[in-house]
């Protein structure tokens, strides 16, 4: 059975590109475009992986991570953001993020490769 991935990313072009590439790689992929919708999805569905932006409308990625932790939702999270400060990375890891990628420095192909490695 295909692994399920949730993309929580407000940049629709990036979200759709990731969704397309990951679907072509054999994953079942859903995308939502703000943290509030992301929280709703993870509360009612089980995913194998979440790709999460940090700066989004309604609810930011740090708040999404906090909800996952508070509700003991153990889905691995890869943070994709343009925040590159050390304290942002540290905070995301403290909330349970498995990995942290700077979007502007990381190709979609590299993200797909990393997802494949993580989900083996």
CB 29 within 8 Å of CB 2: no
Was domain 4-118 assigned CATH 3.40.50.2300? yes
The ranges assigned to domains in the chain are 4-118
So what's the pLDDT on residue 83? Answer: 80
Rounded Cα distance between 39 and 107, Å, is 26
So what's the pLDDT on residue 86? Answer: 85
So what's the pLDDT on residue 1? Answer: 82
So what's the pLDDT on residue 32? Answer: 98
So what's the pLDDT on residue 80? Answer: 94
User: CA angle, corner 13, sides to 8 and 16, nearest 5?
Assistant: 60
pLDDT tens by residue, the chain, 120 residues? 899 999 999 999 999 999 999 999 999 999 999 999 999 999 999 999 999 999 998 999 999 999 999 999 999 999 999 887 888 888 899 998 999 999 989 999 999 999 999 998
């Amino acid at each position: 059975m295909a692994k399920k991935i949730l993309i929580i990313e407000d940049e629709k072009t990036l979200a759709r590109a990731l969704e397309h590439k990951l679907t072509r790689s054999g994953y079942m992929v859903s995308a939502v475009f703000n943290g509030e919708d992301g929280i709703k999805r993870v509360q009612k569905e089980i995913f194998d992986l979440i790709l999460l932006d940090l700066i989004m409308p309604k609810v930011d990625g740090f708040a999404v991570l906090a909800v996952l932790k508070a509700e003991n939702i153990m889905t691995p999270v890869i943070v994709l953001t343009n925040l590159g400060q050390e304290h942002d990375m540290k905070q995301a890891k403290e909330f349970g993020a498995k990995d942290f990628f700077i979007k502007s420095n990381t190709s979609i192909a590299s993200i797909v490769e990393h997802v494949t490695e993580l989900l083996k």
